[in-house]
Chains A and B, each alone.
Chain A
Amino acid sequence: AQKVTQAQTEISVVEKEDVTLDCVYETRDTTYYLFWYKQPPSGELVFLIRRNSFDEQNEISGRYSWNFQKSTSSFNFTITASQVVDSAVYFCALSEARPLNSNSGYALNFGKGTSLLVTP
């Protein structure tokens, strides 16, 4: 069974601060995908990144960066120089890469989310 843990329920930072959102996962699959999604108050889920289990390279996209550590089963997300527009709920998610039984294996297992509030 798969499990995603986002221990931080809520984080509040002041604009321009850096913030890291933690994500720890559990899976018995040898190949899997990890994701981060942003859910602003409007409710729509915005895709941020997908990482394959065999690719441990860290990634940077503008102010966003991700640290994938297979040894600790973590996939942490850092926002540098946070802005008010970054305020949202962020979800880490996990799915199988090659489901054996059915397409349901491609479904995402979400963490409980971390609510980030960036104040001016």
Chain B
Amino acid sequence: AQSVTQLGSHVSVSEGALVLLRCNYSSSVPPYLFWYVQYPNQGLQLLLKYTSAATLVKGINGFEAEFKKSETSFHLTKPSAHMSDAAEYFCAVSLRGGSQGNLIFGKGTKLSVKP
């Protein structure tokens, strides 16, 4: 069975500091991996996804994530945090060969950005 673990339910950084949100997955077969962002009272917006090409994936708003098979990780980073990055971030996994929309989400990490 697939699962996703996001380490840290809350992360706080200063504006301009590095953002690192951790995600580890469990899957019996190579999965597709995703990061979504959710602003208060809104739906989810796709930041980036890994399907099978380059292991370093670049997304919107300056975010990127690196797929590390040996560590079963897909951590999200951004070199310099901006106040507008404050939101909740979800890592998700889906099975190859299945519907990419049948996603298993982690519990989320709420990012706070201090001025």
Q: Do A and B bind each other?
A: no
